């Protein structure tokens, strides 16, 4: 069995932005280090250094200090691959950390940051023996120029990208908004999955939640799940695959019930098999009641990730190894979650 970690991360470094063009250097994120003796309280998951973008401080939180620095930052790709071997993982899908929250509203800054990040990940993939496919950063603020966006996505596809990273809210909108339809058309054409990862690109929501991570990062993904089904967006893009990542899966039966009510109110029937019909995949995690969940939605659409490199409620570095070894699931179900389902989602 080829085990696929459906949600792992890379921690960005100053080298991430070294791919910027000469005329983009003014947009390069800088690092601000806070005086640890300034008297302000520290959270248990907070560092004293920040990224600075357009004079906005972006805290480097959520970094798993138990992971070796050269492995989590991928300055030593072989160290990461060796650790994957140790914890029973053949392939990891890499997601960003820096971009989990709002960064900029300026199209030129957005494009420069995303382009540099994408080339950094392309180099990592090209030196990983194909074991580190990745989720690309789409320049959403450039969607008025779809050919520019397509060229960027095509480069990424040619260099190991298997999916498109999106947050639960993008450009202050849920992901059923027609603004994103050109992106979905390009993704379908290039055979790239759309991955709604726990995160938030709405400055209004992010800044009003006062650090409430559940409301800020998790719930927006669930809301977009509902909106996509309620407005039957996947029907427009029948070959497109979708994933809902790092928000657990136990909420799915509840939201499907809401979708049915809302569809019926508009005179539309509920899907016979909503997840499979719409090519939806959801990451489960150790806090889910998996036997109950399997009885509700089956095993054809579940995947699992380690959240490698992070330290939060979804992190379990031995998640795949545990699922292989504990014998609590039928072997056929385990194979689907660890191999068959993520391989379908990511086109592996």
Which tokens sit at 243?
């994933």
Using the CB atoms, write b or e for 244-259: b if 16+ within 10 Å.
Answer: bbbbbbbbbeebbeeb
pLDDT for 45 equals 47
Instruction: Give the model's pLDDT for residue 46.
Output: 55
149: CB partners within 8 A, 6+ apart: 138, 139, 142, 143, 182, 183, 186
Q: How many CA atoms lie within 13 A of 22 on its CB side?
A: 0
pTM above 0.85, yes or no: yes
Strand order in the sheet with 280-284: 4-9, 91-95, 134-136, 161-167, 193-197, 242-245, 280-284, 302-304
pLDDT given at position 44? 46
C-alpha distances (whole Å) from 65 to each of 16, 131, 172, 315 are 19, 23, 32, 12
Domains of the chain in start order, with CATH, are 4-13+64-346 (3.20.20.140)
Rounded distance between C-alpha atoms, residue 151 and residue 136, angstroms: 13
Per DSSP bridges, beta strands 169-170 and 173-174 are: antiparallel
Give pLDDT, residue 206.
83
Model pLDDT, residue 150: 98
Report residue 16 as tokens: 């991430």
Q: Are 198 and 166 in contact (CB under 8 A)?
A: no
pLDDT in tens, the chain (348 residues): 899 999 999 999 999 999 999 999 999 999 888 766 665 555 544 567 889 999 888 877 777 778 888 999 999 999 999 999 999 999 999 999 999 999 999 999 999 999 999 999 999 999 999 999 999 999 999 999 999 999 999 999 999 999 999 999 999 999 999 999 999 999 999 999 999 999 999 888 888 887 788 888 899 999 999 999 999 999 999 999 999 999 999 999 999 999 999 999 999 999 999 999 999 999 999 999 999 999 999 999 999 999 999 888 778 888 999 998 988 899 999 999 999 999 999 999
| The length of the chain, given as a count of residues | 348
243: nearest Cα among 256, 224, 271: 224
In angstroms, the Cα distances linking 9 to 148, 183, 198, 255, 304 are: 27, 23, 12, 27, 14
CB 348 within 8 A of CB 338: no
The 10 Å Cβ neighbour count of residue 79 is 15
Q: How far is C-alpha 129 from the chain's CA centre?
A: 22
């Amino acid at each position: 069995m080829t085990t696929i970690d459906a949600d792992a991360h890379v921690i960005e470094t100053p080298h991430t932005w070294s791919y910027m063009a000469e005329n983009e250097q003014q947009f390069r994120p800088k690092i601000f280090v806070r005086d640890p003796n300034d008297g302000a309280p520290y959270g248990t998951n907070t560092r004293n250094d920040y990224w600075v973008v357009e004079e906005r401080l972006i805290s480097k939180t959520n970094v798993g200090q138990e992971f070796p620095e050269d492995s989590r930052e991928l300055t030593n790709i072989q160290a990461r691959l060796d650790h994957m071997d140790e914890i029973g993982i053949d392939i990891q899908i890499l997601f960003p950390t820096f971009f989990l929250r709002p960064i900029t509203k300026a199209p030129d800054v957005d494009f420069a940051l995303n382009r540099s990040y994408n080339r950094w990940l392309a180099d990592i993939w090209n030196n990983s023996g194909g074991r580190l496919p990745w989720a690309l950063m789409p320049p959403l603020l450039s969607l008025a120029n779809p050919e520019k966006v397509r060229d960027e996505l095509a480069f990424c596809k040619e260099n190991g990208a298997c999916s498109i990273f999106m947050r639960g809210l993008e450009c202050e909108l849920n992901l059923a908004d027609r603004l994103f339809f050109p992106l979905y058309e390009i993704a379908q054409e290039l055979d790239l999955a759309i991955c709604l990862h726990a995160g938030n690109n709405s400055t209004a929501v992010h800044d009003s939640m006062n650090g409430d991570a559940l409301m800020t990062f998790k719930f927006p993904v669930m809301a977009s799940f509902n909106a996509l089904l309620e407005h039957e967006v996947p029907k427009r893009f029948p070959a497109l695959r979708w994933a809902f990542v790092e928000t657990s899966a136990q909420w799915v039966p509840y939201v499907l019930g809401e979708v049915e009510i809302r569809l019926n109110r508009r005179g539309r029937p509920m899907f016979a098999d909503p997840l499979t019909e719409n090519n939806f995949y959801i990451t489960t995690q150790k806090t889910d009641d998996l036997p109950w969940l399997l009885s509700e939605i089956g095993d054809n659409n579940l995947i699992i990730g380690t959240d490698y490199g992070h330290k939060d409620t979804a992190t379990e570095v031995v998640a795949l190894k545990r699922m292989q070894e504990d014998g609590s699931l039928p072997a056929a179900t385990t194979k689907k979650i660890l191999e068959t389902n993520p391989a379908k989602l990511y086109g592996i």
